[in-house]
C-alpha cells in the first residue's frame, strides 16, 4: 500500500494473527497509513501496510526513531514484550500517544506477583490464595506440607507456556517441586521467582476491555482453547482456537457473572489509578467460573491471540476513533457496538505444534474460495513463497467463521478447511456442538488428582 498524504499515520507493533486483525480493524472504516514493526514477516500485514519494518518489537530506540522519522500520530501495541520494556513510555516521550499501558501499569501482565499484590492491597474480588517463592527449600517445604493442589507460575512473561498445574501437568508432588526448582534456577520468566496459587476448577473465559484510565468498555466474552490436542489434552500452546456467542455471553456464563468479571477489571483500573498509574490500552482478564464465584486467573495488558480475531471483526465503531478515545481519555463518549454474531476461530498450525513443530512445511490456501464463504483469514507467523505459505515454529493461519450461531460459524470454518492444502495441525473439535453442549451443562471432564 502506498502512503497517502493527510491520512493518519498509525504504528502497529507485532506481526501475528492478532495484529493482522488489529491492522484490518484500523483500516476498515477510514483511510489510514499503517506502519508495521514486526520481527517476522506477515503476508496479511504486508498487504495492508504502507511501511513494514523488521525490527524486533523490543528494540525501543530503533522503533521510536523510525516512528518519529515517519511522522507517526498514534501507536497500537499488539503484544506484551514491548510493554515489558516500556515502548509506550518511550513513544510518549517523543509525543506519540499509544494504545498500550506504560511499563509500570503493564505489570498487571508482566509480573504475576504485582497483579496479585495489587488485588490483595485493594481488596479486589476474584482473588485466589497465593504464595511467592524465590527459594527452593521453602517451596519444597510448602508443597510437601500441604495436601492441596496448586498452580505453579513463573512471575514474569513466558508466552503463556510457563504455568503448570498439579493434577494436570505433574504426576507427583516431586515433579511439581522439580519444576519450581527449574523456574528458580533457570530464571524462567526472567527472574528466580514463582507464584504458587491454589488450583481452581471450572470453565475459563476471557473478557477484554478498552480502557482510557477511567472508563472500561467491555467486548464480547470469548472462550479460548490452549491445549494442543483434541479433547483439551496435551501441552498448553499460544491458543488453538476460540469462539464467541451473539449475545456476548457464553453457554456457561450468566449476565451476572459477566458483570462480576467486568467489575473486577474496573476495580483493577481504579486501583492502578490510586497507585498513580493511568492505564490506557486493552485490558484482558482470564476468568474462571468456580463454585465460589468468578475468579481472576490472570490479566494481560493487550488483546489475546486468538481472542482479538473473534471480537475485532464484530466491532461496528471505527476502531481508529476508539483508539483515539483510549489515548485521549474520552472513552465515556463512545457508544460501543459489536455485531450480534457468533464467531469461531480455528488455527492452522505446523504439524506437531505444541511438541516439536515442523518448520518449512507447505500450506496452500485457496483464498478466493475461503473468502466466498465469508470466512476471514488472519495470517500469523508464516513465510510466503509464490502463492504457497511455509510454516515457522509458531501458529500459521487463523480461520474465523462468523454466523448467526456458533454452529453456523463452526460449519463455515470447517468448510473453509476444505480449501486448505498441505500437512498441518488443527483442532477440529473446537466449538463443535458436542463440546458446547457439555459446557452448557457445566459438565467438566473429571480431572483426577493424584493426591
Rounded to whole angstroms, how far apart are CA atoms 330 and 149?
44
Residue of the chain from 102, 118, 165, 261 that contacts ligand AMP (CB under 6 A):
165
Stretch that binds ligand AMP, among 89-97, 138-146, 199-207, 371-379 (CB under 6 A): 199-207
- How many Cβ atoms from other residues are within 10 Å of residue 268's Cβ? 26
In whole angstroms, how close is the CB of 242 to ligand AMP at the nearest point?
Answer: 12
Three-class SS of residue 117? Answer: helix
Going from the C-alpha of 31 to that of each of 17, 67, 124, 133, 281, the distances in angstroms are 21, 19, 42, 51, 22
In whole angstroms, how close is the CB of 150 to ligand AMP at the nearest point?
Answer: 8
Residue of the chain from 237, 286, 343, 391 that contacts ligand AMP (CB under 6 A):
286
Q: Which is nearer to ligand AMP, 75 or 296 (CB)?
A: 296
Question: Interaction with ligand AMP in 114-153: which residues (CB under 6 A)?
Answer: 128, 151, 153
Rounded to whole angstroms, how far apart are CA atoms 151 and 295?
14
What are the residues whose beta carbons fall under 8 Å from the beta carbon of 74, sequence distance 6 or more?
8, 9, 10, 11, 96, 97, 98, 99, 320, 323, 324, 327
Rounded to whole angstroms, how far apart are CA atoms 187 and 242?
31
The answer to the question of residue 305 lying near ligand AMP (CB under 6 A) is no
What DSSP assignment string belongs to 63-90? HHHHHHHTT--EEEE-SSHHHHTTHHHH
Question: Interaction with ligand AMP in 228-257: which residues (CB under 6 A)?
Answer: none
Closest Cα to residue 106, out of 90, 89, 127?
89
Residue of the chain from 160, 306, 401, 403 that contacts ligand AMP (CB under 6 A):
160
Residue of the chain from 143, 200, 228, 348 that contacts ligand AMP (CB under 6 A):
200
Q: What are the backbone angles phi and psi of residue 333, rounded to the nearest 5°?
A: -90, -5
Residue of the chain from 57, 89, 109, 197 that contacts ligand AMP (CB under 6 A):
197
The answer to the question of residue 163 lying near ligand AMP (CB under 6 A) is yes
The secondary structure element, H or E, covering residue 402 is: strand 397-403
Stretch that binds ligand AMP, among 99-107, 198-206, 312-320, 328-336 (CB under 6 A): 198-206
Question: Interaction with ligand AMP in 204-233: which residues (CB under 6 A)?
Answer: 204, 226
The mark string for 1-40 relative to ligand AMP (x by CB under 6 A, - otherwise) is ----------------------------------------
The answer to whether the Cα torsion of 196, 197, 201, 206 is positive or negative is negative
Stretch that binds ligand AMP, among 39-47, 85-93, 196-204, 383-391 (CB under 6 A): 196-204
The secondary structure element, H or E, covering residue 62 is: helix 60-69
Stretch that binds ligand AMP, among 72-80, 92-100, 160-168, 179-187 (CB under 6 A): 160-168
Q: Which is nearer to ligand AMP, 190 or 422 (CB)?
A: 190
Stretch that binds ligand AMP, among 8-16, 159-167, 261-269, 397-405 (CB under 6 A): 159-167
Strand partners of residue 385: 388
In whole angstroms, how close is the CB of 299 to ligand AMP at the nearest point?
Answer: 9
Tell me which residues touch ligand AMP (CB under 6 A). 128, 151, 153, 160, 163, 165, 197, 199-200, 204, 226, 286, 297-298
Amino acid at each position: 500500500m502506498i502512503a497517502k498524504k493527510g491520512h493518519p499515520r498509525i504504528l502497529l507493533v507485532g506481526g501475528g494473527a492478532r495484529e493482522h486483525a488489529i491492522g484490518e480493524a484500523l483500516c476498515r472504516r477510514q483511510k489510514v497509513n499503517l506502519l508495521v514493526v514486526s520481527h517476522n514477516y506477515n503476508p496479511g500485514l504486508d498487504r495492508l501496510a504502507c511501511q513494514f519494518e523488521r525490527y524486533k518489537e523490543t528494540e525501543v530506540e530503533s522503533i521510536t526513531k523510525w516512528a518519529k522519522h515517519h511522522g507517526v500520530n498514534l501507536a497500537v501495541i499488539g503484544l506484551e514484550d514491548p510493554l515489558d520494556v516500556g515502548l509506550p513510555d518511550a513513544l510518549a516521550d517523543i509525543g506519540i500517544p499509544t494504545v498500550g499501558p506504560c511499563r509500570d501499569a503493564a505489570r498487571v501482565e508482566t509480573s504475576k506477583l504485582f497483579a496479585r499484590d495489587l488485588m490483595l492491597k485493594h481488596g479486589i474480588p476474584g482473588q485466589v490464595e497465593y504464595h511467592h517463592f524465590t527459594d527452593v527449600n521453602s517451596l519444597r517445604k510448602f508443597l510437601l506440607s500441604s495436601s492441596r493442589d496448586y498452580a505453579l507460575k513463573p512471575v514474569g512473561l513466558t508466552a503463556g507456556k510457563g504455568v503448570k498445574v498439579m493434577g494436570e501437568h505433574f504426576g507427583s508432588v516431586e515433579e511439581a517441586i522439580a519444576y519450581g526448582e527449574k523456574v528458580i534456577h533457570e530464571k524462567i520468566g526472567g527472574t528466580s521467582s514463582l507464584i504458587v496459587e491454589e488450583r481452581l476448577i471450572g470453565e475459563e473465559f476471557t473478557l477484554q476491555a478498552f480502557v482510557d484510565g477511567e472508563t472500561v468498555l467491555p467486548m464480547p466474552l470469548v472462550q479460548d482453547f490452549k491445549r494442543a490436542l483434541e479433547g483439551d489434552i496435551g501441552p498448553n500452546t499460544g491458543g488453538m482456537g476460540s469462539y464467541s456467542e451473539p449475545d456476548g455471553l457464553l453457554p456457561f456464563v450468566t449476565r451476572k457473572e459477566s458483570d462480576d468479571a467486568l467489575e473486577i477489571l474496573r476495580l483493577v483500573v481504579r486501583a492502578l489509578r490510586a497507585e498513580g498509574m493511568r492505564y490506557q490500552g486493552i485490558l484482558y482478564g482470564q476468568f474462571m467460573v468456580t463454585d465460589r464465584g468468578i475468579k481472576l486467573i490472570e490479566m494481560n495488558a493487550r488483546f489475546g491471540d486468538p481472542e482479538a480475531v473473534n471480537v475485532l471483526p464484530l466491532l461496528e465503531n471505527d476502531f481508529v476513533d476508539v483508539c483515539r478515545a483510549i489515548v485521549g481519555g474520552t472513552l465515556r463518549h463512545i457508544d460501543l457496538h459489536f455485531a450480534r454474531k457468533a464467531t469461531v476461530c480455528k488455527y492452522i498450525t505446523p504439524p506437531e505444534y505444541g511438541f516439536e513443530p515442523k518448520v518449512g512445511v507447505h500450506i496452500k490456501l485457496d483464498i478466493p474460495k475461503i473468502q466466498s464463504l465469508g470466512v476471514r483469514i488472519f495470517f500469523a507467523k508464516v513465510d510466503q513463497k509464490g502463492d504457497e505459505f511455509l510454516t515457522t515454529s509458531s501458529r500459521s493461519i487463523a480461520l474465523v467463521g462468523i454466523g448467526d450461531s456458533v454452529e453456523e460459524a463452526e460449519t463455515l470454518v470447517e468448510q473453509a478447511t476444505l480449501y486448505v492444502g498441505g500437512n498441518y495441525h488443527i483442532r477440529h473439535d473446537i466449538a463443535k456442538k458436542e463440546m458446547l453442549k457439555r459446557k452448557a451443562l457445566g459438565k467438566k471432564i473429571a480431572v483426577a488428582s493424584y493426591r
